[in-house]
Amino acid sequence: MKYLPKINQLKVFQAVIKYGSIRAASRALNQSQPALTRSLKELEASLGATLIIRGIRGIELTEAGRLFAVRMEIILRELQKATEELQYVNEQAESNLRIGCSSLILLTIYPKILAEFKKYHPKASLLLKEGQLSSLMPELRENKLDFAIGSVSENIPLFDFIEEPLFKASFTILCRKGHKLEHCTHLEQLKDANWLVPATDMGYYQQLQQFLDNSHTQLASTPLSTDSVICGLNLVLNSDYLIIIAKSMSKPLMLGEHFAEIILTTSLPCATYSLIYPRNIPLTLTANRMIKILRWHCQKTNWNKVYQS
């Protein structure tokens, strides 16, 4: 025997045995009868033996055919098991998932997403990095993160990335209860306030700056910047600073007890949150699973009101 049989030849032989005729096997495999006949003849030629004959009752196995059929079934079963084991190993190897996202995701839908994801990948190792998209993009480029979710704007360069818009979120202004500006209704009344904003010049807060410019509202002092939501809220609680956050973060952070919302006659612009991942690096099976779950929860959540878990 010069050559070992090909896998597709073995599957054709298996189908002919199972269905009892070349015609029935061709329908099951969605192949033409001449193609199946050719595969069988090539298999017999490589083995140097006749495997089947056409009898009165259809296809019949020769003695060589019966002997080979037993071995063939073992080979195909073992090959299937080996394929399944390799797939499992690959999935485990790809289960080191690295995600970058904003605090909005982490404080609202992430617990539900994680619980659902763990049903499929209980041994998966997850690395979460909280931050603005501007600080996460360099790590996406260097393949240190699989994907990221954050607010986008026109000035964010996304040439190297694929962007999938997920949702739009409403934002509001918070102050501590009892703040002298608590009952203001116009931006102009807040121009002399102390402001706290994330440390980024991209995404939603760049969009917000354009909104202030269009409203002819020039802040009297330069806002204080921080990437820590907890640090920012602590500063607002214990001083006269104002902060702009997504409305849906209010309940998870239990803000109603100590903070007040400054309700303006003109609504703040909404932020667009998108999924971002490198264009030239394929997503792993694990990342695709997480994205599918994430996408579903983002679509089912009302991001324009206080989040209800």
Tell me the whole-structure pTM to 2 decimals: 0.66
- On whether residue 32 sits in a domain, the answer given is yes
Angle between helices 63-93 and 7-19 (to 10 degrees): 120
Domain boundary among 92, 112, 127: 92
304 found inside a domain = yes
Task: Quote the number of domains for the chain.
Answer: 2
End-to-end CA distance of the chain: 67
Q: What is the pLDDT confidence band of residue 183, given thresholds at 50, 70 and 90?
A: very high
Same domain, 112 and 67: no
What's the mean pLDDT in 48-56?
Answer: 87
Residue 44's pLDDT is 92
Q: What is the CATH number of the domain that holds 125?
A: 3.40.190.290
The range of the structural domain enclosing residue 229 comes to 98-309
What pLDDT score does 202 carry? 66
| DSSP one-letter code for 124 | -
Residues 280 and 190 both lie in one domain: yes
Higher pLDDT, 149 or 159: 149
Same domain, 45 and 154: no
Chain segment 199-236, per-residue pLDDT in tens: 666 667 777 777 776 665 677 677 787 777 888 888 88
The distance of Cα 260 from the centroid of its chain, to the nearest Å, equals 35
Say how far apart CA 13 and CA 51 lie, in whole Å.
9
CA distances from 175 to 69, 170, 209, 227, 243 (A): 78, 17, 19, 18, 7
- The pLDDT score that the predictor gives to residue 105 is 92
Taken as a whole, the chain contains a residue count of 309
Mean pLDDT computed over 239-252: 85
Per-residue pLDDT at 291: 96
Distance CA(122)–CA(95), nearest Å, equals 9
Task: List CB contacts of 25: < 8 A, sequence separation 6 or more.
Answer: 12, 15, 16, 18, 19, 36
Residue type, 309: S
Q: Does residue 35 sit in the same domain as residue 134?
A: no
296 shares a domain with 178: yes
